[in-house]
Structure 1
């Protein structure tokens, strides 16, 4: 077949875009032409991965933008039980799956989240897409400029997830309730907003603008959202950006190695850590283990003491660290969890934000991990969990089963032919 033109669209956030790059490279090595649309300041993240960036729109910091928007309402905050804002909390709290809650949640999330995060990119992205003519657009679920541009230029398009699919699950619940409403009482704030852009560029709203023609999901089936149509499983391949392997990581240590990491997103945006790093280090002090803690230079001054069995580094290639570890303690990030799951390492998740608590609960149910809410994690509870994970064989057995499930999932290269088929089926024939 002729080479496809493939456009990836992502907000300027590493946690969203880095999981897209292995599939981007699989498409490249299959002979397709790949571009990554992003805001200007984020282009370096793309080019460091050896991919071609297309700067569009104007610069913004996603975290700061959303923080400013959300604080315009005094009662607006992440729900600590699950870390999800309305309406997405309804995806995992059945008692909140009501018409009133979902409608109000969509109204707020559109005005405080989707509009501010998408508006800076939309016009320029549509202009580029119409000029370049992509056959396929892959967009991460918060980059709503992606489906708008796809509908404007006639490209096939789908979502590429970096989280539990709370977006699709919430939409499924909303549509079910919408069908039960009287004809004149079916308000749909998300469809109204997206439909306005679709009409601006000569089209009409369709549900594919919310959930894509298909969805590429990197979570293994045992952890993924059940029953969503158009799901394409994809094996997670770790990529964390430019990295250098230090000599001390060439071999495994004599003692069990415990990794402590909080990811990159918080310190990238000067937000600090949700996890009490000092408390976790204190919990591990005196254990017969070697601790490797990734602590950003900007956060080290907050530590009053460092155990003798701990090595502190600002950054280390996580996939190389994971292969030498016996246990990982972290914030419940999607990429962090899957990186350790591939090796296979039992994990202690201390989640707080967005889908982290949901992922933590599912990981614990799978059996290879334990989870404690970040605000409830004490030195005593962390130490007890660590001892269980290191000494009870069932955790390693279940972690190995999860690794085997991941390995049986199609690799990025194996998924490319299916994407080629879907592109042929869904792109416009009149463009």
Structure 2
């Protein structure tokens, strides 16, 4: 059969799907991956065939100054009150309403060429199955327009379906309060109607979803889920010689994410504090940090090797522990390598706060629509800067899961001193109980079906759901 993947043009969105694309390709199926034209080189390097959308000379949609901005806190909280959400549920809602609706809006716009080009390709190529990134909703429209079956590939806890279920439960309350019944559907509807279809539940959430989250990190939803193992892929690179031999002392990986380094200087002051903490420890630290993340660091300790990029699937098998930002891809790589994890999580709310600043400045820990270091630094039209929480979107569910399995610890660079962070790292690298916890996480990870294992299920579901 023919399988079309559609992904947001980001490694954090593309890399999770690569092993599944390989599994289908290895089983004899034709596979294509559609994304923004600027992202095609990354797809080719992974050994897959790209379908380029748009003009490669033009920045991707999120870099446009007219890209959707986050919802303001008062609107977020008004919904939360009507939905009667408790504190934990409010964080799920914030992740959906203030964070995820923004990228979802980028590639369903009818005034941009991407969706039309994707539909045109799907109608010409006639895929049997479209597997789409939840933030790349035009994939579902292309599936409908071409008669293909379609499924989402989840990239984290399913905040989208969870929130839709809450909205459905309180529909009358929302109408009475004068609030939109479904903000997600409102974003997709103009594109759906352009191709003669409805922004219904199936279009928004797939005929089923591939769910690579471990059971302890899943949210309860009414969607159909196909559980699978999150096999990590972290890029392709030559294995460096220094990774050949076993390290002479405990090796600790330090990685703080690929996304925040694109628009935050100084890493909220987290990097300097962690490097101070490891300076006196008898460990070797491999820190995958770039110059923006290193801002504010005057002296790098002698036991720290700075490498801007190294694939985690090469590095982690040599490590005794990893310190990371809580991203799902990094978490999965550590699970597969049976490595104890120290997850950076401040425990604060995910709510972004708007602040008015000089548009020519970029403060540490802030985000501005259309801005990215090294890509588009000339944004002057937008004066609203968004102050971010000092943590990754998935940091809390990731750290909660790691702690619940005894596989690591939580690092809070805001409240913990350098001495406390040093003791934390020493404990995780020396106490054998954390290795036992990492083994338990690995066993749970291994119990889930691999991408190759689910290929027969994908074939069966496709035959049931395609409409040609």
TM superposition score category, shorter chain reference: 0.7 to 0.9
Number of the residue aligned with 1:281:
275
CA contact (8 A) 1:243 1:317 kept: yes
Shift of the 298–95 alpha-carbon distance from structure 1 to 2, 3 Å rule, reads: closer
What residue ranges of structure 1 are gaps of 5+ in the alignment? 80-84
1:91/1:169 contact within 8 Å kept: no
- The residue correspondences of 1:392-411 to structure 2 (distance < 5 A) are 392-411=431-450
Q: Does the CA contact (< 8 Å) of 2:62 and 2:103 recur in 1? A: no
Aligned to 2:163: 170
- Is 1:115 aligned to 2:115, yes or no? no
**CA distance in 2 between partners of 1:28 and 1:240 (Å):** 19
Higher fraction of helix: 1
Counterpart position of 1:38: 35
Is 2:150 the counterpart of 1:153?
no
Cα 1:125/1:357, change in 2 over 3 Å: same
Name the CA shift for 1:189/1:286 in 2 (closer, same or farther; >3 Å): closer
Q: Name the SS of the counterpart of 2:215 in structure 1.
A: coil
Check the 8 A contact 2:232/2:336 in 1, yes or no.
no
Q: Does residue 360 in structure 1 map to residue 353 in structure 2? A: no
Distance 1:92 1:286 in 2: 49
1:296 to 283, 290, 295: 290
SS at match of 1:35: strand
The 5-angstrom pairing of residues 415-430 of structure 1 reads 415-429=454-468
Task: Check the 8 A contact 1:133/1:153 in 2, yes or no.
Answer: yes
Partner of 1:362, secondary structure, is helix
1:126 aligns with 2:119: yes
Q: What is the match of residue 354 of structure 2?
A: none
| Superposed displacement of residue 411, structure 1 | 0.9
Contact 1:11 1:62 in 2 (8 A): no
Q: In the alignment, what sits opposite 1:82?
A: none
1:206 aligns with 2:205: no
What displacement does 1:264 show? 2.2
Aligned residue runs from structure 1 range 323-334, under 5 A: 323-334=317-328
1:123 and 1:180, CA in 2 relative to 1: closer, same or farther beyond 3 A? same
Deviation of the 1:175 alpha carbon:
1.8
Residue 259 of structure 1 aligns to a residue in which SS?
strand
Contact kept? 1:332, 1:350, Cα under 8 Å: yes
* Alignment of 1:21 onto 2:18: yes
1:140 alignment partner, one of 123, 133, 137: 133
Deviation at 1:269, TM superposition (A): 5.3
Say which is worse superposed, 275-284 or 356-365, in terms of deviation. Answer: 356-365
SS in 2 for 1:382: helix
Kindly state the Cα deviation for residue 11 of structure 1 after the two structures are TM-superposed: 1.2
1:261 equivalent in alignment to 2:255: yes
Distance 1:129 1:92, change over 3 A: farther
Q: Which residue of 2 aligns with 1:70?
A: 69
For 2:82 and 2:444, the matched residues in 1 are separated by: 28
1:102-126 C-alpha deviation (Å, 9 max, x unpaired)? 79x85x7798543234324211111
Q: Quick check: 2:217–2:397 contact (8 Å CA) kept in 1? A: no
Report how far residue 314 of structure 1 moved.
1.7
Q: Which position in structure 2 is the counterpart of 1:7?
A: 4
2:217 is paired with a residue whose SS is coil
1:92 deviates by 12
User: Any residues of structure 2 matched to 1:173-192 within 5 Å, and which?
Assistant: 173-178=166-171, 187-192=181-186
Which residue does the alignment assign to 2:46?
A: 49
Q: CA deviation at 1:166?
A: 1.7
Offset at 1:270? 6.6
Question: In 1, are the aligned partners of 2:288 and 2:310 still within 8 Å (CA)?
Answer: yes
Per the alignment, residue 363 of structure 2 pairs with none
Aligned to 2:218: 224
d(CA) in 2 for partners of 1:102, 1:404? 31
Greater shift, 385-394 or 332-341, is seen at 385-394
SS where residue 127 of structure 1 aligns?
Answer: helix
Could you tell me whether the CA contact under 8 Å between 1:57 and 1:122 is conserved in 2?
A: no
Q: TM-score, normalised by structure 2?
A: 0.79
